Amino acid sequence: MKKYIAEGVGTMMLTLVACGIAVTSGVDLVATSLAFGLVIVAAAYSIGNVSGCHINPAVSIALLVAGKMTTKECIRYIISQVIGAFVGSLLLALVLGGFSNLGANGLGGGTSIWIALVVEVILTFIFTTTILGVTDKKENGHATGIVIGLTLALVHLFGLPFTGTSVNPARSLAPAVLQGGSAFCNVWIFIVAPIAGAVLAGLFYKYVLKEK
């Protein structure tokens, strides 16, 4: 149970703080990217020893496909993450005084649905492949949180102009549901594409990167 509570709290931190900075900074490219990356670093060194600090259904799915966790455990992780994301978004709405803008993902100017899908699949693949690779060796233990945080910041730097960068279905679902409107209409993109990217990363790790 400690693992699932930790995952919920970690995802709440991500949704509240990182999405909050995205909103209050006007989605400033550098500030928003650093916010998501730094929250991951903070979470990794606080809850990582309890749950592994997935705080993202895509990460849990990648680990499932790679053979690093069971289906039952993965489902429980995802439920905890989604609950945590909704709590974080509700807290953000309380702080901001409304539900009009909670940092939901959306299509950037001129970005089509197909481009958004491709961008999210690729960025999620990069992010989750990095996680699978860096956590594969015990000697990387002290640097794992920093590497993962910097990678999340990196994919945000690229993806923000196109999709606002999701690579995390829980982080996208909660703000979209509570914010409503076009954010809710497009949220399926930010659920389907990260899951697809995570599955590809899990298969890539299992059949190409994994040491036998």
What would the two tokens of residue 114 be?
């197909």
**Number of domains forming the structure of the chain:** 1
Task: Report pLDDT for 9.
Answer: 97
Task: Report pLDDT for 137.
Answer: 79
Task: Report pLDDT for 211.
Answer: 76
**Whether 149 contacts 40, CB under 8 Å:** yes
Q: Which residue positions in the chain have pLDDT lower than 50?
A: none
Q: Convert the pLDDT of each residue in 69-80 to its tens digit.
A: 999 999 999 999
HSE, side-chain direction, 13 A CA sphere, residue 77: 23
CATH number for the domain spanning 94: value is 1.20.1080.10
Locus of tokens 């693992």: 3
Q: Quote the pTM value.
A: 0.95
> What range defines the domain where residue 116 resides?
2-209
